[in-house]
Structure 1
Amino acid sequence: MARDDILVTALAMLDEGGGQGLTMRALASRLGVTPMSLYHHVEDRAGLLRALSDRVYGEVLEAADGELDPLAQVRALLVRYHDAVGRHPQLTLAIFAEPRAFAGVSRQLTERLGDLLANVTPYSLLWRDILIDHAHGSGLAVVSVRGDSLQVDAIREQYAKAVDCLLGELTRTHG
């Protein structure tokens, strides 16, 4: 059994049944192994969630936006993050429920957003929190329309417009 198999299966379990159904025992059962064998790959459930977060949100952080101005980088980062939350909303909810899981790429993503905003406004932490909370709320709304690609696209489009409005207000008042 490889770590990759564990993460793929764990993410599928989250997507299927939410955070409550993802236990080390249930994951081991799905993989056909003993629960103790999982601990060779992840230290505990929080570690498993961190590894899943690193995988899902790592793509958000790794995209190259270096040639864009800071505000355009903020927008691109938020749109990618919103899309990731929308694809795997149960991961975001599981991280909310397990504060020790907020580390690694999740923390790096939040720090990167704060650093970019510091180039734009003296209220970078306030705006970071507003923008992250908005991404979570809109991304989690995708759960209610899952399976309806037109509705999902509409939420994504509405989110992008809202981000543009928020960033426009940020630059108008602080730029």
Structure 2
Amino acid sequence: MTETRKRSGRPAAGHALSLDQVLDAGLELLEELGAQGFGIRALARKLAITPMSVIYHVGDQQQLMQLLVERVHGEPLEEPAESMPAVQRVQVLLGHYMARVRRYPALTLCVFGDPRLFGGSLSAFSERLRHEVRQFDAEPELLFDLLVDYTHGHALALALAGEGAQPLAGAFEAGLRRLLR
């Protein structure tokens, strides 16, 4: 009896692959392998299709990364109530953003490594945060930079700690309160 090998390439009729499926698999694989092991070929292997099929859905590597960034950061963060003081709105926004960065640390490191990935939703979020900081601080650019660096550092530390992150519970909020005094 001859064993039939599964062909890679275009999915069989009735099993169409969507952009959402490609991006979901891409995010999962990026977080699993990190930036160094991730790419169109690795994603194609995971999806059991050809690299050209991946390119058909997402374009080149740069476009794939931009799509992944927008997939994660394009989803609007929960908005704090306008009735809250600006300082509290900053705390709420950064808390939500920190949770997102913590969930996708490899993607965040990719953004750090390639400034071209910082655009769209990330740029809009930065402007939103800057606007809030300007409402209450005499040196808003300095505070903005400190808040962003602190948030990224804490989120990445928690992501790396994995199961050992429990002792850090509440530390982000405490540090944020200290920075915002």
| Shorter-chain TM-score above 0.5 | yes
Q: Are 2:77 and 2:97, in contact at CA under 8 Å, matched by a contact in 1?
A: no
User: Does 2:160 correspond to 1:155?
Assistant: no
Q: How many residues align?
A: 164
Q: Quote the residue 1:172 is aligned against.
A: none
User: Does 2:96 correspond to 1:96?
Assistant: no
TM-score (norm 1): 0.85
Q: Distance in 1 between matches of 2:35 and 2:133?
A: 32
Q: Are 2:77 and 2:93, in contact at CA under 8 Å, matched by a contact in 1?
A: no
Q: Quote the residue 1:30 is aligned against.
A: 46
What does 1:1-175 correspond to in 2, within 5 Å? 1-59=17-75, 61-67=76-82, 68-146=84-162, 148=163, 151-168=164-181
TM-score (norm 2): 0.82
List runs of 5+ in structure 2 lacking aligned partners.
Answer: 1-16
Displacement of 1:156 after TM fit?
A: 4.2
Compare relative contact order (CA 8 Å, sep 6+) and give the higher one, 1 or 2.
1
Displacement of 1:32 after TM fit?
A: 1.7
Q: Are 1:24 and 1:38, in contact at CA under 8 Å, matched by a contact in 2?
A: yes
CA offsets per residue over residues 88-116 of structure 1, 9 Å max, x none?
11110111122211111111111111111
Q: Are 2:129 and 2:144, in contact at CA under 8 Å, matched by a contact in 1?
A: yes
List runs of 5+ in structure 1 lacking aligned partners.
Answer: 169-175
Q: Give % identity.
A: 34
